[in-house]
Amino acid sequence: MNVAWTYDDEKVCVEAFFKFIDFDKTLKMVRKEIIEYIKLNVKNYEIRTHTSWVLKIDNIHYLFRVWCGLPKAGLKGKTSKQVEIMNIFFENSKFKNSTDKFSKEWFISKKSEFYKLKKYDPESDKKETIIVKLIRNKKIVTDYLNQVNFCENCLKENTFISLSSGKMYFEVHHFIPYNEEVQKNYEINLDNYYNLVSLCPECHRAIHLSEQRNTIIKNLFDKKIRIKEFKGFYGENGIEKIISDYKKTNMTKDHEVNFADFDDDLYDFVI
């Protein structure tokens, strides 16, 4: 029978995991002690099958490894109560210190594996990917950088001299993201001169990846909305729409893109 998990039962399971987790032992080696502790501390162990309790420990194991920054293992759980309870344990200095120590020791133990030199294998050390990108007009990029050769967010005028252009290096960014998911909500092609902004490399990454994203968007929005042509296709929408558009892109703190992947056309770097 599928019985809903109570807060108390979840709490006992988390307590049991933290009580017996040991860096020198695998979860399998301490699972018996964990289950015995659960049997002694829950109101009714028999209300669920033995397998259900074991799976719950695997859920906790999964979350624990995620919190410690270790490779994922165990079974991903779905209960918010479990996350809430584990948060309480991680906020406790005793447990935080132990998990930090656990994480550090694990990486030290794997150091030789991580840093071991190995021969390049042309078969296993590469992968093929298919990227579908919207077509970008490089002419407007060049023209825009010739007109606006500074960062429109931080107002920086000096970065470094570009090998390609011989000029100070800046990157062009589509203010409203030129993304297929976003573009379908606009009649006008977003790859247009009035939707471009010039950014220094740091601000360009920040608008995609940093927690200050919304602040940068607001700063640029206050300037862009005054441009008649931009307002012509953006309409009377507020800043909330653009913030929502950015959430539809794949560059977030949970999916940080390696910008070096685009080094084939960095001078014309547009996103």
The predicted-structure confidence for 211-255, as pLDDT tens digits, reads as follows 889 999 999 999 998 899 998 888 888 889 999 899 887 554 333
Residue 166 has pLDDT above 60, yes or no: yes
pTM of the full predicted structure? 0.56
Domain boundaries, the chain: 7-115, 138-268
Residue 101 has pLDDT above 70, yes or no: no
CA dihedral defined by 224, 230, 231, 232, rounded to 10 degrees?
170
Higher-confidence residue of 215 and 56: namely 215
For the record, the structure tokens of 243 come out as 């913030």
pLDDT at 127: 77
Share of the chain above pLDDT 70, in %: 70
Task: For residues 11-31, give the mean pLDDT.
Answer: 75
Residue 173 has pLDDT above 60, yes or no: yes
pLDDT at 262: 39
For the record, the structure tokens of 61 come out as 């194991």
> For 110-164, what is each residue's pLDDT tens digit?
555 556 777 888 888 887 777 778 889 999 999 999 999 999 999 999 999 999 8
pLDDT at 30: 82
Higher-confidence residue of 207 and 255: namely 207
CA separation for the pair 61, 211 (Å, rounded): 29
Residue 11 has pLDDT above 70, yes or no: yes
In sequence order, what are the beta bridge partners of 252?
255
Residue 35 has pLDDT above 50, yes or no: yes
pLDDT at 219: 94
DSSP string, 35-77: HHHHHHHSS-GGGS-HHHHHHHHHHHHHHHHHHHTPPP-S---
pLDDT at 203: 95
- Mean pLDDT (the chain, rounded): 78
